[in-house]
Chain A
Amino acid sequence: MQENKKFISGSQITVQAAIDAGAQMMYGYPITPATEVFTGWIKNKQPYLQTEDEIAAGFAICGAVLAGQKAFTATSGPGHVLMQDGLSMAEAMRLPFVLIAAQRGGPSSGTVIYSQQEVTLACYGGNGEGLRLVYSPCGLEELYELTRRAFNESWKYRFPAIVLTDGYTLKTTTVVELDNLKKIENVPSHALVPEDKIIHWPNIYTFEEELFEELNNAKADFDKISEEVVASEVLEEQDAEIIIIAHGIVGKSVKEAIKQLRLDGIKVGLFRPITLRPFPKKQLDKVVGATQVKKVVMIESSIGQLARIVRDELAPEIDKSFVYLNYPGLGVETEEIVKQIKKINI
């Protein structure tokens, strides 16, 4: 094997990305399938604290980043629900809170390895407006890259950042070439509560107008950075009459399905959002709005959580027929996609 190639698991590559991003501290609570990110970090002799629950982990991160430390956590499912407590403080105070969310089946304890059912929670959890960065990686290279970006962009733009992955991805072990990916430059952290001057920092307001102004400013900042942050993958779209929209690991099955369907002469293409918040809206409009597109097929391992975002983001004048293929909590295999698209194409 070449030296620049590594046989590595999703959890290991996430830990490697956090180390390479300059992360200084991890707070965590064990939960499948995110545990191995925590134990992998500890085995790499990195600083950590195992807290009494995800709530404490979340708020300890808030405290750490206020002091200027790059801190993060990894969790899943019910732990992700509890993590929204600290995340909402991070959203309100614009704290660079980094979370690796490994989706498992839900609701409740659900199943322990896989789903795409934490999309709404990651994007819009908490009693706020969803002003957070949410990345959905497909494959290990992208998992590495997006984890690096989560640290960089949260510290650069001061929004909490969530890498929304799943247990299948974290447990995948494959050969990855890291050298090119490692070249990403790090955004340094800085003390949000300074040592050399005194600040008074509210997180609760007396007047509605004060909160209104804060939120409007935060939204304006979020919109301004969106152009720099949004990412998507588009495949075989030029002549596509059917556009499949999928995110994360489902994107892998879709890409393989498109290869097979194209051999049968079916004109099918892919739109895969890489960032879910902010959403690559312009790219979506361009791909879906193209005149030859007759049908949009949503494929996801949930009951329409991505579909709701897509319908919300798509320009209202783009009138296309949608088909929803929902597999809540279930992996979606290439064969199933090929079968379903052939039915739709008739």
Chain B
Amino acid sequence: MTEFIPAKFCPGCGYPIVLMMMHNILKEMKLNTQSVLGLDIGCSLLAWNFLPINTFQTHHGRVTPTMLGFKRARPNSICIGMTGDGGAYAIGMQSLAHAVKRDEPITVIVVNNTVYGMTGGQTAPTTLHGQKTDTNLEGNIDDPISGPEFFRPLAHKDAFFARTAVNEPRQLQECFRKAFETQQQGHFSMVEILSFCPTHWKTKGADTIAHLNELKETFKLGII
């Protein structure tokens, strides 16, 4: 895989960081050849030819059931579902909850940028109270959902839940490592990653980083 493929993500997007870090850990753990990356629809779909690992696109909200079907059919694979916060906590909520309850040995990576990015910045389940979006012009009237905290009580004691951020590289890599180890041990794992969306946050440079850091006050980092 020496071919150069230009990334289609918006300038300043957090996804390329997530993908590169994840791939580094998979290589380090020598899991890259047996890894299968399934993509929900949303900004994650742009990763379809980004990494030298088996990758396919699914449907919006449906990456979790697709990957558990794959995992059950090929147990020695490392199955990773990559999804946005809308795919995970809105349209894919039901499937994700039941995958957690059944302790399906797959890893779900949720990239949380608090908006529906691909469709132009609408309110997501993670949108902050008061945050203005395309579908809440006067500001969101609801409080955001904290995904890992919501699912944790449903899960097996050895399942792994964590939240980190794209500007926390050490923690990010550690979370990936623990998530894949958990899958190898036969349990469910989920890492939520707070990520930049300068396009829809309408921020530039330092403001983008400042906003991401502010999000950490609402969405606490660490193992959950």
Interface membership of A341, Cβ < 8 A: no
List 8 A-B pairs, minimum CB-CB distance, nearest first.
A63-B69, A60-B69, A67-B73, A69-B73, A63-B70, A59-B65, A201-B56, A203-B57
Known: A58-B65, A63-B67, A66-B70. 5 other contacts (CB 8 A): A57-B65, A64-B73, A66-B73, A71-B73, A193-B54
- Looking at A45-53, A128-136, A221-229, A259-267, the stretch in contact with chain B turns out to be A45-53
* B74 nearest CB neighbor, chain A only: A67
Please, which residues of chain B bring their CB within 8 A of the CB of A201? 48, 55-57
Instruction: Check if A63 sits within 8 Å of B57, measured CB to CB.
Output: no
Instruction: Check if A51 sits within 8 Å of B74, measured CB to CB.
Output: no
Contact flag A71-B52 (CB < 8 Å), given A62-B58, A202-B57: no
The number of chain A residues with a CB under 8 A from chain B is 39
Interface membership of A78, Cβ < 8 A: no
Give Cα A343 to B118, complex, Å. 61
Distance between B154 CB and nearest chain A CB, rounded to angstroms? 12
Instruction: Check if B38 sits within 8 Å of A198, measured CB to CB.
Output: no
CB-CB contacts of B42-64 with A at 8 A, as 1s and 0s? Answer: 00010011001111111100101
Q: Which of A193-230 contact B (CB under 8 A)?
A: 193-195, 198-204, 206
Contact flag A198-B69 (CB < 8 Å), given A53-B94, A62-B58: no
Distance between A66 CB and nearest chain B CB, rounded to angstroms? 6
Give Cα A198 to B48, complex, Å. 12
Instruction: Check if B70 sits within 8 Å of A56, measured CB to CB.
Output: no
Instruction: Check if B65 sits within 8 Å of A55, measured CB to CB.
Output: yes
* B56 nearest CB neighbor, chain A only: A201
Please, which residues of chain A bring their CB within 8 A of the CB of B56? 66, 93, 193, 199-203
Instruction: Check if A52 sits within 8 Å of B98, measured CB to CB.
Output: yes
Q: Which of A61-106 contact B (CB under 8 A)?
A: 61-69, 71, 85-86, 89, 93
Give Cα A191 to B76, complex, Å. 14
Give Cα A56 to B67, complex, Å. 11
Please, which residues of chain A bring their CB within 8 A of the CB of B62? 55, 59, 85-86, 89
Please, which residues of chain A bring their CB within 8 A of the CB of B74? 67-69, 191, 195
Instruction: Check if A56 sits within 8 Å of B58, measured CB to CB.
Output: no
Q: Point out the residue from B38, B49, B58, B69 that lies within 8 Å of A64, measured CB to CB.
A: B69
Distance between B217 CB and nearest chain A CB, rounded to angstroms? 34
* A192 nearest CB neighbor, chain B only: B56
Distance between A46 CB and nearest chain B CB, rounded to angstroms? 13
A-B contact count (CB 8 A): 115
Please, which residues of chain A bring their CB within 8 A of the CB of B70? 63-64, 66-67, 193
Give Cα A63 to B201, complex, Å. 35
Instruction: Check if A67 sits within 8 Å of B68, measured CB to CB.
Output: no
Interface membership of A25, Cβ < 8 A: yes
Interface membership of A155, Cβ < 8 A: no
* B47 nearest CB neighbor, chain A only: A200
Interface membership of A27, Cβ < 8 A: yes
Instruction: Check if B59 sits within 8 Å of A59, measured CB to CB.
Output: yes
* A53 nearest CB neighbor, chain B only: B94
Instruction: Check if B73 sits within 8 Å of A68, measured CB to CB.
Output: yes
* A47 nearest CB neighbor, chain B only: B72
Distance between A192 CB and nearest chain B CB, rounded to angstroms? 9
Most chain B Cβ neighbours within 10 Å, of A24, A52, A63, A64 = A63
Contact flag A67-B98 (CB < 8 Å), given A59-B62, A60-B66: no
Give Cα A51 to B69, complex, Å. 11
Distance between B196 CB and nearest chain A CB, rounded to angstroms? 23
Contact sample, A vs B, 17 pairs, CB 8 Å cutoff: A25-B73, A52-B97, A56-B64, A56-B98, A59-B69, A60-B66, A62-B66, A63-B68, A64-B72, A64-B73, A68-B73, A86-B62, A195-B34, A201-B56, A202-B57, A203-B57, A203-B59
Q: Which of B84-128 contact A (CB under 8 A)?
A: 94-95, 97-98
Please, which residues of chain B bring their CB within 8 A of the CB of A203? 56-59
Give Cα A204 to B68, complex, Å. 21
Give Cα A67 to B36, complex, Å. 10
Please, which residues of chain B bring their CB within 8 A of the CB of A69? 72-74
Q: Point out the residue from A62, A195, A199, A202 that lies within 8 Å of B69, measured CB to CB.
A: A62
Contact flag A59-B54 (CB < 8 Å), given A64-B72, A69-B73: no
Distance between B64 CB and nearest chain A CB, rounded to angstroms? 8
Give Cα A202 to B55, complex, Å. 8
Please, which residues of chain A bring their CB within 8 A of the CB of B38? 63
Distance between B188 CB and nearest chain A CB, rounded to angstroms? 15
Q: Which of A246-260 contact B (CB under 8 A)?
A: none
Instruction: Check if B41 sits within 8 Å of A204, measured CB to CB.
Output: yes
